Amino acid sequence: MNEQHAAGKSQPVLQLHNATVYRSKQRILHQLSLQIDKGEHTAIVGPNGSGKSTLIKLLTYQLHPVTSEDGIPPIRVFGKNRWDVAELRRRVGIVSSDFQYYFLNNIKKGRITGVDVVVSGFFSSLQLFPHQKITGAMREQARATLERMDAAYLADTLFREMSAGEARRVLIARSLITSPEALVLDEPTTALDFVARHNCMELIRSLAQQGTTIILITHHIDEIIPEIERVILLKDGEAVYDGPKETTLTAENLSDTFGHPVGLHRHNGMYSVRLDGAQAD
């Protein structure tokens, strides 16, 4: 484990100790150890197949690592290794393009309003069911959260009629409805045009500045906002580089992680890469 984070703070968001995960007999994560403290905005970066999606499923207890031989729990979230999943989902918000797909392809085929999408976050479900007790206070809070996302005008719009950028704002509102302590963003700007990407990242910057712990999981370097302090580079299920953004996010480290020479450019706290291997001015 990175010595800088060994001591940590009380109840860090995530602790992994030699976490190894197999799926269909294939090893996805290999003895991964890391700690992310509350308030420590972190980007976890790696190519497709590096283990990023598996890491999200560990954090939400959809997958479980192999039991560690030394008896130390391989995963703790907020200091605990056992969780009621519904309670955990109230403390950790998840934003993923997968959710957008699910809402558009469940039995209602996107025929659900923005406010009801947000209300579904109270129940950690991807639609609303007759047995769920929905109160006026819940709907009021959902509308207030949409307003916080500058998306109040989408409250009564059907999800399937929203643009990709609008849908992403609604999904972020959904993830925030329970006032989570941490927000996990899985490639949040996928399929967005450049204007929607900019607006989405500005919104995430605002949330980081307001105190929500941001864990960004991506292979898009330009999603790493200035508020991100730490970068973890994953390759073949292992954290090959881990540390402060300024020293970890380098052309050399990225070239090694992605298996291709890249050049890295920084401007106003944001980063971009190019594949010719030449360092930009």
The C-alpha atoms of residue 203 and residue 219 are separated, in whole angstroms, by 19
Q: 274 — phi, psi (to 5°)? A: -140, 155
Burial of 48 (0-12, 13-18, 19+ CB in 10 A): exposed
Q: What is the pLDDT of residue 130?
A: 81
pLDDT in tens, 7-64: 444 589 999 999 999 988 899 999 999 999 999 999 999 999 899 989 888 888 888 8
Q: What is the pLDDT of residue 20?
A: 93
Bridge partners, residue 96, by sequence:
186
The C-alpha atoms of residue 182 and residue 40 are separated, in whole angstroms, by 10
Tokens representing 89?
């989902």
Higher-pLDDT residue of 31 and 128 is 31
pLDDT at 73 over 80: yes
Task: Write down the mean pLDDT value for the chain.
Answer: 89
Q: What is the pLDDT of residue 140?
A: 97
Inter-residue contact 145 to 180 (CB < 8 Å): no
User: Does the CA dihedral 113-189-230-3 come out positive or negative?
Assistant: positive
Q: What is the pLDDT of residue 180?
A: 92
The C-alpha atoms of residue 90 and residue 179 are separated, in whole angstroms, by 7
> Over 127-188, what HEC string results?
CCCCCCCCCHHHHHHHHHHHHHCCCHHHCCCEHHHCCHHHHHHHHHHHHHCCCCCEEEEECC
Rounded (10°) angle between helices 97-105 and 164-176: 100
pLDDT at 2 over 70: no
Q: What is the pLDDT of residue 76?
A: 93
Sole residue written with tokens 């968001």: 13
Q: What is the pLDDT of residue 245?
A: 96
pLDDT at 4 over 80: no
Q: What is the pLDDT of residue 1?
A: 40
Inter-residue contact 43 to 52 (CB < 8 Å): no
pLDDT at 5 over 50: no
